[in-house]
Amino acid sequence: MVWIPTTSGTGSEVTSFSVITDKKNNIKYPLADYELTPDVAIIDPQFVQSLPKSLVADCGMDVLTHAIEAYVANSRCPFTDGIALEAIRLIGQYLERAVKDGTDMEARTNMCWAQYMGGLAFSNAGLGMVHAMAHQLGGFYDTPHGVANAILLPYVMKYNLPSCPERYADVAQAFGFDVSKLTKTQAAYAAILYIEELEKTIGIPKLSDTAFKPADVEELSKNAMKDTGMPENPRKATVEDVEKVFLNAYFA
């Protein structure tokens, strides 16, 4: 089984994960089995060169979410920490360039590396609340996965911050910030603000620009609590907590 990725996003070519969409019940959920891991993966930036800018942006934010969630996941380890941080560093340097110019092969190549490392990181450390919530937006409204992750990422980081400020401070440092004179919390907020500005620059929509309806928030949140990402989230959440994060993103 040989896989050749045609986006710089999911990292599926190095993971044991797939995602199933249940159209009858409007639920999107992950499936994990080592039989899904390919024998050979060919990662060539030429295969992503023709992607439209919106897909480069969406998939790039999916990579970033993989790396950040893996870095703070409860099952993280030194191996996943190292490759997650390097993926974050590469995304900070090259995602905006890749979105602006599809022929920038340096940027494309390094986003392929980021995708690969992000896939290895989350397949070994796990994901978290961002993915648990994003799967519901995808299943319920068919929101593109990368868009859903991008929209929710800063808001879940704000929710998680009390449990892992030092980890998010490391994310800020990976983005290139000098955090030597900042507290861990201040550095963590610098990372969050950077992500919010990056999303504006590369054209990520707001939750209010999607099909999301506040009236659905209770059902979406209950389903998110059942997702396999929730146990790995660094801060435990209730249904009410998830509802607040959805609504904070919507009314922002």
pLDDT digits (tens, 9 = 90+) for 130-175: 999 999 999 999 999 999 999 999 999 999 999 999 999 999 999 9
pLDDT at 24: 83
pLDDT at 32: 82
CA distance 118 to 107: 16
pLDDT tens digits for 84-119? 999 999 999 999 999 999 889 999 999 999 999 999
In sequence order, what E strands does the chain have?
A: 2-3, 17-22, 27-32, 40-41
CA distance 88 to 82: 10
The answer to whether the CB of 118 falls within 8 A of the CB of 11 is yes
Please state, rounded to an integer, the average pLDDT across all residues of the chain: 95
pLDDT at 102: 87
pLDDT tens digits for 181-229? 999 999 999 999 999 999 999 999 999 999 999 999 999 999 999 999 9
pLDDT at 199: 98
- Beta-ladder partners of 17: 32
36 versus 26: the higher-pLDDT residue is 36
> Which band of pLDDT confidence, cut at 50, 70 and 90, is reported for residue 27?
confident
- Tell me: pLDDT of 26 over 90: no
**210 φ/ψ angles, rounded to the nearest 5 degrees:** -100, -175
Q: Residue 217 corresponds to which tokens in the numbers above?
A: 């928030």
